A and B are shown apart, each in its own frame.
Chain A
Amino acid sequence: MKYALLIYAAERDWAGKSKEEQGRIYNDYMAYTVELKKSGKMLSCEPLDPTSTATTIRVRNGKTVSTDGPFADTKEQLGGIYVVDVKDLNEAVAWASKIPDARTGSIEIRPLMNIPEM
């Protein structure tokens, strides 16, 4: 069973942290990713650049309209994605709760839709 673990955290909090603290969190992520990889359950790991680099586009009446910034202005922003292949939701929850940002932000667990033709 495949799940996406979507990491939501406040970018503003990150910017307010000291260099040492940022370094510590970075190391926590490295350690977590190594552990997940070693277990053989990780399909991919996609850290995202901050929303200040985001472009949102919509196609309306055949015209592509771009705007600067993320799709939704929320308190916590999508900061990265792990895709895992595990037994069931309980195992997905166990891995998600070890993600460093789970302690301050939120991790949304979404099952991947199984469409054989895709």
Chain B
Amino acid sequence: MNQTADAVDRIFSEESRPVLATLIRLLGDFDLAEDALQDAFTAALETWPKNGLPTSPGAWLTTTARRKAIDRLRHLRIVEATRSELALSLRLDREACDSHYELEVSPVSDDQLRLIFTCCHPALSREAQVALTLRTLGGLSTAEIARAFLVSDATIAQRIARAKQKIARACIPYEIPDRESLAPRLDAVLSVLYLVFNEGYLATSYEHLVRRDLVADALRLARGLAALLPNEPEPVGLLALMLLHDSRREARVSDEGDLVLLEKQDRNKWNRPQIGEGVRLIERALRMRRPGPYQIQGAIAAVHAEASTAADTDWRQIAILYDQLLGYERTPVIELNRAVAVSFAVSPVEGLSLLEDIERSGALEQYAPLHLARADMLCRLGRNDEAFECYERALPFVPNEQVRRFIEQRLHREKTAEANVGHQTGTKSPSGANPV
């Protein structure tokens, strides 16, 4: 009996997402689908322990939920009949009679893919896209999404309710876009998944650096997307990018819970099998010869991952890749990253002059990494007092407690170094300097 209860729990957590996606497609209504699924779970709890588990639990749940939805609609029809519900109910009756109808339920099904394009439809705001994707396709509750994005439960609940209402009333379809409009629509899906991943991975506003559930959801959905669109290189590139970043998870945080810079990380802690998979994926994507921003970022992550020590990093290759990335989107953050790569590939002086261009634009004045990069380059030139100022300038703009601690340690170290060595004012740099 207990065993059955465990099995039921496991089946619920495995099957609920794909079954829900199928129900949303069949019913064309998020709320009705959720209610019907709940009804089906209740029915399962009653019948499965008595009659044993069905051979295909996913199909059983879908069929039962569909029947429950018809019951709900019949009931509704008595209360208040509207034409669309009648039509829907008729369609359901017809499909229920169709004996060919059998369900394939896989980790990320076609129906889930269809649904992700609906959830990330450009007619919805980015916030709504993220919340709806996590709620319907990810494993997160409204409360968990609210915690992850530091807003109230009520805000998220309202965001999701409004989005569902817009999908229904403005008639946003459940379909995979045709070839012609796939690229721009795919962009929206990819940026939602990457945003979810980064929110989990960087956890800008959290005590813990890694929010595993967001990362796991983003990885699962990206994997499903890449599998279902095997001829599209960008989803593969995004999956590779996520895997490669995530492979450094264990090395990113010290035992004391502090952030560890890439060049200081213990590379033995990197997840080698995961790096292997990421590199294979990025190679597969690049072979399709349709480069894009996620593939390029994945390639950059791969170059870092393949260096056995920080000093072995092929910065020249990374600088070239950032140049290519700038061809797709010219943002100050990418220019900053390129400046860092150039500072290692050519010299810190060269890097500093690129940073000056960015600083003049004023776009990143409140962006801590800009000041940190400048501080680092100045340190490498022995200009410690100027570096010290940059660290101080970065402090007010650091959202994460652990990053803040990291800077304060650096500041402390600069101070002690200065006290010990006195002022170093060397301005010459060894060209082709490598990070140590």
Contacts and interface: CB of A to CB of B under 8 A. Distances in A.
A108 to B, nearest CB: 12
A54 interface: no
Interface in B385-421: none
Contacts of B83: 114, 116
Contact of A88 (B82, B84, B171): B171
Q: How large is the interface on A (under 10, 10 to 19, 20 to 34, 35 or more residues)?
A: 10 to 19
A90 B177 contact: yes
Interface string B73-113: 00000000011100000000000000000000000000000
B123 interface: yes
Interface in B161-193: 169-173, 175, 177, 181
A1 B170 CA distance: 9
Contacts, number: 26
Contacts of B181: 90, 94
Contact of B173 (A87, A94, A109, A116): A87
A32 to B, nearest CB: 19
A42 B172 CA distance: 20
A88 B169 contact: no
Interface string B112-132: 000000000101000000000
A1 B121 CA distance: 18
A90 B82 CA distance: 24
Interface in A57-116: 87-90, 93-94, 109, 111, 114, 116
18 contacts: A87-B173, A88-B172, A88-B173, A89-B123, A89-B170, A89-B171, A89-B172, A90-B173, A90-B175, A90-B177, A90-B181, A93-B123, A109-B170, A111-B169, A111-B171, A114-B83, A114-B84, A116-B83
Report the 10 A-B pairs with minimum CB-CB distance, sorted nearest first: A88-B173, A1-B171, A88-B171, A89-B172, A111-B170, A89-B170, A89-B171, A111-B169, A90-B173, A89-B123
Given A89-B123, A89-B171, A90-B173, 18 more contacts: A1-B171, A88-B171, A88-B172, A88-B173, A89-B121, A89-B170, A89-B172, A89-B173, A90-B172, A90-B177, A90-B181, A94-B181, A111-B169, A111-B170, A111-B171, A114-B84, A116-B82, A116-B83
Interface of B: 82-84, 121, 123, 169-173, 175, 177, 181
